[in-house]
Amino acid sequence: MKNITIILSIVIGLFAITQVQSQNKKDRDQFEVQVDGLGCPFCAYGLEKKFKEFKGIKDIAIDIETGDFSFTYPSEKNLSMTDVINQVIKAGYTPNLATIARADGTIENNESNEDIALGDLEEDKLYVNGMCGMCKARIEKATSAVPGVATASWNVDSKMLTVAYDPEITNKDFIQKAAANVGHDTKDSRATDEAYHNLHACCKYKRD
Amino acid sequence: MIIATAVVMISCNEKEAIPMEWQFEKTIDLDGINPIGIALDGNDIFLSDGDHNRIVKLSDSGEVLQMMEGYNRPMHIDFGEASYLITDDGITTDLLKERALFIPEYGRDSIAVMRDNHVSYMVLNDSLDAPAGVSVYKNEIAIADFYNNRILYYNGEAWISIGTEGKALGELSYPTDVQLTSDYIYVADAYNHRGHVFDKSGKAVSFIGEDQNINAATGLYVTDEEILITDFENSRILIFNLKHKLQQILETGIHKPTDVIIGNDVLYVTNYQKGELVRYQLKEKISSNE
């Protein structure tokens, strides 16, 4: 009889813990952001640190290899996608796909549905100054977002951006300006001092 | 008898110093450990595993002896024997020069002090923002205060703040590692991509390796003869003499290194991303003709 009482007490205790955990999950939104260029631990932990400014953040997980960054946040605070994306950028990183699984079951993401039909593509190589994997992510994200650009790939050693684009829609000047807008000097377009200053520490290349 | 002694003396004096260099020995796979900092204690190797919030103790052959969990992003660690105030659960005591492992916790803005697996924290009146490295020399302590772009230096009596953000002499860009020697404070000035030397009054003395195209100088170690700097993005270790002249570049087996140390005639490099420990040995220099 005594043993049965003990077993029952344990089962009830475990049930209560599970209920509390389940309730906690229901009260929290789950955020997942894919961040490019988390090659250096000092930078990656900096991203984590920057997000700790959001009081109430929990369950932070960061995978430096894949760039997967996730956390939970109290649902009543209704942290928006824009807040999350801005915080990633403020920390000096380039956000890719971000998903929010709200406590009420709704799912949000930042995927864009804008697709432009491209004609015959032209390929060019453009000089873009930068330093590291984080620069690569930022340069490729900015230049591939230019309407008319099909692909953009930057080489960290040669500093050359290989870009395929529809010349009927865009041109080399627009593409170079897009890189300069996010802080990276090109042959024909120089970033503003402010844009350069806003680069993450490890991305601050020597300016020509 | 006198002549015989002189011959030996002459022959000793004439004996040429054999040129030596560090040569790759082997890579040890750390199986899930991503080492950032390294410190040695006798034959034991201590690694900070920032990704997994722990300190790992290894044998000199790389066998895991102990895992110590619960550190918040531990970085460049160091053993030392300072006399300094530490606190544990609200009780403040003096370390009294007991040998301890000093662990900068980047995510907790604190310096943990571990003795016999017991953890206390240094009492600091100044606030840190992501401490990335610590060095203890006799009763002196230096901390690389990453986001504050400075070194906090305790000279045994008082703390002084060294460096401000910038690129000029005396200015730092996200220091990640620091080492005290008898006369100087050596800094891995990470995103100025160089080493930086200060005297103990805080006056900047010189740069190291500014012309070597380093890309992220993340770690540093200084011996009586050499200064070693990790070049993270270029996967190299650069070795300079104490006059800051480049002596050797190590590349074999090195991938995204974060720290380097020499002990027991072995040079160890932590390959952060691949989770490896690389060993080099000091051997007679291989002639370029061979």
Question: Which residues, 6+ apart, have CB-to-CB distance to A194 below 8 Å?
Answer: none
B7 band by pLDDT with thresholds 50, 70 and 90: very low
Supply the Cα-derived Rg of chain A in whole angstroms.
Answer: 23
- Cα(A57)–Cα(A43) distance, integer angstroms: 19
CB atoms within 10 A of CB A176: 24
Q: CA B290 to CA B277: how far, in whole Å?
A: 29
Q: Which of B106, B215, B216 sits opposite A45 (nearest CB)?
A: B106
Q: Is B191 on the interface with A (CB under 8 A)?
A: yes
In b/e form, how buried is each residue of B162-182, taking b as 16+ CB within 10 angstroms?
A: bbeeeeeeebbbbbbbbbbbe
A171 in a structural domain: yes
Q: Is A60 exposed, middle or buried (0-12, 13-18, 19+ CB in 10 A)?
A: middle
Instruction: For residues B170 and B91, give the distance between their C-alpha atoms in angstroms, rounded to a whole number.
Output: 37
- Residue B29: both structure tokens together: 């796979």
* Under 8 Å between Cβ of B26 and B267: no
Pair type for strands B78-80 and B64-69: unpaired
Residue B140's DSSP bridge partners are B137
**Predicted pLDDT at A200:** 79
Q: What count of other Cβ atoms lies within 10 Å of the Cβ of residue B97? A: 13
pLDDT reported for residue B9: 46
Do A104 and A31 fall within a single domain?
Answer: yes
What's the number of domains chain A is made of?
Answer: 2
Token pair 């901390």 is at which residue?
Answer: B143
The H-assigned helical ranges of chain B are: 2-14
Which one of A42, A48, A52 has the shortest CB-CB distance to B190?
Answer: A42
Which of these ranges, A4-18, A29-43, A69-83, B36-50, has the smallest mean pLDDT? A4-18
With CB atoms and an 8 Å threshold, state whether B216 touches A64: no
State both tokens at B22: 């560090």
* Highest mean predicted confidence (pLDDT) among A59-63, A180-184, B177-181: B177-181
Q: Chain-centre distance of CA B112, in angstroms?
A: 17
Q: Which residues of B touch A131 (CB under 8 A)?
A: 215, 233
Closest CA to B255 of B273, B228, B282: B273
Percentage of chain B surpassing pLDDT 90?
85
What interface predicted TM-score (ipTM) does this complex get? 0.77
**Final residue in a domain of this structure, among A109, A136, A152:** A109
How many angstroms separate the CA atoms of A102 and A108, rounded?
8
Asked if B233 and A41 come within 8 Å (Cβ–Cβ), the reply is no
* Pairing, β B226-231 against β A107-109: unpaired
Cα A111 to Cα A123: distance, rounded to the nearest angstrom: 26
Same structural domain, A105 and A148: no
Q: How many CB pairs under 8 A join A and B?
A: 55
- A92 in B contact zone (CB under 8 Å): no
What does chain A come to in residues?
208
Locate the chain A residue with the closest alpha carbon to B173: A201
Closest partner residue to A131 among B106, B146, B215, by Cβ? B215
Measured in angstroms, the CA of A59 and the nearest CA of chain B are apart by 14
Checking if the pLDDT of B112 tops 60, the result is yes
Contact status, residue B261 vs residue B278, Cβ threshold 8 Å: no
Q: pLDDT tier at A68 (50, 70, 90 boundaries)?
A: confident
The answer to which of A67-76, A86-95, B146-155 has the lowest mean pLDDT is A86-95
Three-class SS of residue A52?
coil
Nearest by Cα to B188 from B162, B226, B221: B221
Q: How far is A173 from chain B (nearest CA, A)?
A: 29
Helix axes A133-144, A172-181, angle to 10 degrees: 130
Task: Select from A66, A68, A84, A67 the least CA-distant residue to A29.
Answer: A84
Residue A15 lies in a domain: no
CA B31 to chain centre: 23
Q: Structural domain of residue A127, as residue ranges? A: 122-203
Kindly determine whether residue A40 and residue B216, on different chains, have CB atoms separated by under 8 Å: yes
Residues linked to residue B93 through DSSP beta bridges, in sequence order:
B86
A105 and A31 inside one domain: yes
- Topology of domain B20-284 in CATH is Neuraminidase (2.120.10)
| Residue numbers in A near B256 (CB within 8 A) | 39-40
Residues A129 and A165 in one domain: yes
More confident residue, B263 or A61: B263
Do A31 and A104 lie in one domain? The reply is yes
Domain closes at, from A109, A130, A158: A109
List pLDDT tens digits, range A162-195. 999 999 999 999 999 999 999 999 999 999 998 8
A131, A90: one domain:
no
Asked if residue A18 has pLDDT above 60, the reply is no
Q: What pLDDT does B194 receive? A: 97
Q: Residues B128-164: pLDDT tens digits?
A: 999 999 999 999 999 999 999 999 999 999 999 999 9
Distance of CA A77 to the CA centre of its chain: 21
pTM, rounded to two decimals: 0.81
The answer to whether residue A16 scores a pLDDT higher than 80 is no
Instruction: Kindly report the CATH number assigned to the domain that includes residue A147.
Output: 3.30.70.100
As a three-state string, the secondary structure of B193-254 is CEEEEEECCCCEEEEECCCCCCCCEEEEEECCCEEEEEECCCCEEEEEECCCCEEEEECCCC
Q: Round to whole Å and give the CA distance between A87 and A50.
A: 7
CA dihedral B77, B79, B80, B85 (to 10 degrees): 50
| Pair A91, A60 in one domain | yes
Interface residue A48 vs chain B (CB under 8 A): yes
Look at B36 and B7; give whichever has higher pLDDT.
B36
Cα A62 to Cα A37, A59, A67, B38, distances in angstroms:
13, 10, 7, 22
Average pLDDT over every residue of A33-37 = 81
Mean pLDDT lowest for which of A128-137, B53-62, B140-149, B266-275? A128-137
Question: For A112-157, how does the pLDDT look when each residue is reduced to its tens digit (9 = 90+)?
Answer: 656 667 888 999 999 999 988 888 888 998 999 899 999 999 999 8
Residues, chain B: 290
Per the prediction, chain B carries an average pLDDT of 92
**Residue that terminates a domain, selected from A57, A76, A109:** A109
* B86 pLDDT more than 90: yes
How far is C-alpha B38 from the chain's CA centre? Answer: 7
Domain boundaries, chain B: 20-284
CA atoms within 13 A on the CB side of A123: 5
Same domain, A102 and A164: no
